[in-house]
Amino acid sequence: MTVYAAPGTPGSKVTFKARYENWIGGEWVAPVKGQYFEDITPVTGKPFAEVARGTAEDIELALDAAHKAAPAWGKTSATERAAVLCKIADVIDANVEMLAVAETWDNGKAVRETINADIPLAADHFRYFASAIRAQDGDHAQLDDDTVSYQFHEPLGVVGQIIPWNFPILMAVWKLAPALAAGNAIVLKPAEQTPVSILVLLELIGDILPPGVVNVVNGFGLEAGKPLASSNRIRKIAFTGETTTGRLILQYASANIIPSTVELGGKSPNIFFSDVAQEKDAFYDKAQEGFVLFAFNQGEVCTAPSRALLQKPIYDSFLGDAVTRAKKIIQGNPLDTDTQMGAQASNDQLEKILSYIDIGTKEGARLALGGERADLGGDLTDGYYVQPTIFEGHNKMRLFQEEIFGPVLAVTSFTDYDDAISIANDTIYGLGAGVWSRNGNVAYRAGRDIQAGRVWVNNYHAYPAGAAFGGYKSSGIGRENNKLALGHYQQTKNLLVSYSENKQGFF
């Protein structure tokens, strides 16, 4: 067990600056209007740094820098860009603990997760896209004896990216890595709930990149996000967030006739067929863990398995075992490596979760575990902690239909395969899903029949680089984490070449 020293106390792995400006053109630039806002750590509910409150003027400065950098960066070879991405990955690897503590302090998540998942995965995603761009070929076709069609990948130019707060560094990297690999310059706006950790990363990697290739402007959605998303100086806008803002961003993109990829959340079913309980063996233990993963990252994951579907014959016994297991979740100081569940990311997030616990109770759902704010005492007493919560109910309840983004699980039963698929697909979302069965045929068919972009079969919550990630239905448009993402950041140039000496003969 290790308890990392809190930032601002002796021995902390990270020392935050009192104030962070915008990162534009390879240097720190004060916001034009001179305004800042406080970044609050959810661990204690107290502010720990000031961050630039960027506006349209700062977005324009960042776009100026990006447009200045884009032509040369876009002409670099894939070899050069891949080398830059690998250097970034090396620096991240060399600073895992520092970045992990920064991320935990900014977001509230348990440090065991930032150390073992968020930060190492960030490094690996850079390496994956370094490899993917090296391996990407163009295309050609000999259309007839004299005519050849060549297809080239070209960068889009300057792109905008708006990042969520649940994995502040990793979500930024999911978007930065393919965009950089493809040769684009970027203006990125982090979430205002978690603006600092990405700037700590920029302090480390900023001088590896040519000035202006990556620019970060912080601020509120209306003041900084909208001027970026609606600008006619970007060639693409990428967004992860919720449905209404996603639609608004698609509307802005339509006004400029530019592409947009949006990842908009989910209400992912986690289906357990009866045969998982056929033996109380290692696989049963794994399936039980798969159920309890609703509490991973405090439930603040777009793909959180927030609906558990249990087949009737095992409903009582499986749920009983799982509730016992969920009771053992260790909630505590997020900087303690033994802590399994940290703080929710913000006060309004806490309030929203509690409002859903309220409506769940009013709708008649039965509380099997938790259901209240957790007071961890001491310095943590004002932090944003919620007990792991399990409700039993039916799929038409709002608990089952809305993404709560907290450690709140809705459990129901199903009779047979068709019933399971019907309940699983009765949602407006289609981002993630889980299927658990010892029968490979059942697991395969269920995986194919569920309308979701990512179906975990006999596992959950793994996010390896290489496995395409994205939504069906109202969960969005586009795929990340796979070489497919390169296509979201590239133009296709077709050169149609005639090698004939003779005229076409029309005129």
Interface contacts to other proteins, rule CB under 8 A:
37, 40, 53, 164-166, 191-193, 220-223, 225-226, 240-245, 247-248, 251, 263-267, 300, 302, 310, 312, 315-316, 346-349, 351-352, 355-356, 358-359, 362-366, 392-394, 396-398, 401-405, 412-413, 428-429, 474-475
Nearest to 238 by CA among 249, 248, 247: 249
Backbone angles phi, psi at 101, to 5 degrees: -65, -40
Residue 43 in contact with residue 108, Cβ under 8 Å? yes
Look at the block and give the residue holding tokens 């590896």: 208
Both structure tokens of 330: 């260790």
> Which is nearer to other proteins, 53 or 483 (by Cβ)?
53
Report the C-alpha gap between 163 and 188 in whole angstroms.
8
Look at the block and give the residue holding tokens 């009771």: 327
Report the C-alpha gap between 176 and 208 in whole angstroms.
14
Rounded to a whole number of angstroms, the minimum distance from the CB of residue 161 to other proteins is 15
| Catalytic one of 192, 263, 392, 480 | 263
Both structure tokens of 313: 């014959």
Known active-site residue 263: yes
> Which is nearer to other proteins, 200 or 423 (by Cβ)?
423
Look at the block and give the residue holding tokens 């297809």: 151
Q: Which amino acid makes up residue 9?
A: T
Classify residue 1 by burial, with Cβ atoms within 10 Å: 0-12, 13-18, 19+. Answer: exposed
Both structure tokens of 366: 């039965």
Rounded to a whole number of angstroms, the minimum distance from the CB of residue 184 to other proteins is 23
Report the C-alpha gap between 15 and 23 in whole angstroms.
18
Give the count of beta carbons closer than 10 Å to the beta carbon of residue 34: 8
Give the count of beta carbons closer than 10 Å to the beta carbon of residue 153: 19
Element (H, E) at 207: none
Report the C-alpha gap between 151 and 317 in whole angstroms.
58
Helix axes 96-107, 168-181, angle to 10 degrees: 120
Rounded to a whole number of angstroms, the minimum distance from the CB of residue 291 to other proteins is 15
Residues taking part in catalysis: 263
